[in-house]
Structure 1
């Protein structure tokens, strides 16, 4: 399940992705536009700054802006930064693989096989959905990917 922190991060980044080049927004403006808690948003944006997703300036014309173009920032990247691995089971994770404690055989595990498909579809959708595509209402990649997986 997507954490509230990841949801807030995506909402804030979508606001920043909608800015014109050279523009920035103060945290209070982002928080107001999306009805997000300002203090929580401060920590989220600081984390995203440390991860090279956003940049910030101080002063009268300060604020936050995307560091990379909106068509280069994917939902998958942001969810991994905020929530960690996307895999629903530890034995499916590429970044944080761990054999399940009760596992007899990964090859024969029906639960693993089913969730491997879920994980593949989720990963494909999130890693191909950029901020700019989401703003454009472009759900086509998600539909096409689901057809190809299913």
Structure 2
């Protein structure tokens, strides 16, 4: 699995929305979100379409409109985001559970490479399908908090 810029930017944008979720005005314009996360606006616009279609983000048009999470950050898993934006998590298609395609090896069931790649898929999936936006926001908050504490005299 290799995270594309599309996947990276999508996760960063959703993390920003997750951080804003508890604010009185969680909506943020596409332009402001792009500026905050240093993402090209047109590219971010293309990224947000499949995220909206998948029900992860909500858009509100008009003055004061923008983007916000469509469901709680505790219910949005990183593995889901990557699958929406980049496709399968498996490093090769012959071990993918969502985008399976046969490989060229003579016996896929006993192929050593397939076995190892299935283990890689399982390890990646175990982490990404159990990591939510909320858990990353919390981790980041704890890190920033500990950095501030260490800077106090």
Tell me, in whole angstroms, the C-alpha distance in 2 between the residues paired with 1:36 and 1:42. Answer: 10
TM-score, with structure 1 as normaliser: 0.87
Cα offsets for 1:5-48 (capped at 9, x unmatched): 01000000000001125521001111111111011001111221
Supply the distance in 1 between the matched residues of 2:74 and 2:131 (Cα, whole angstroms). Answer: 9
Post-superposition, which runs of at least 4 consecutive aligned residues in structure 1 deviate over 3 A? none
Deviates more, 1:8-17 or 1:109-118: 109-118
Of residues 37, 55, 58, the one that matches 2:58 is 55
Runs (5+) with no aligned partner, structure 1: 139-150
State which of 105, 108, 111 in structure 2 corresponds to 1:106.
108
Q: Which residue of structure 2 aligns with residue 74 of structure 1? A: 77
- Once the 2 structures are TM-superposed, how far is the Cα of residue 107 of structure 1 from its aligned partner? 2.3
Structure with higher Rg: it is 2
Structure 2 counterpart SS, 1:136 = helix
Distance in 1, Cα, partners of 2:56 & 2:129: 15
1:42 aligned residue (41, 45, 49): 45
The number of residue pairs the alignment matches comes to 137
Partner of 2:7: 6
1:94-136 CA-to-partner distances (Å, cap 9, x unmatched) read: 1121110x22112221111111111100001000000010111
SS of 1:95's equivalent in the other structure is: coil
Two-structure CA RMSD over aligned residues (Å): 1.2
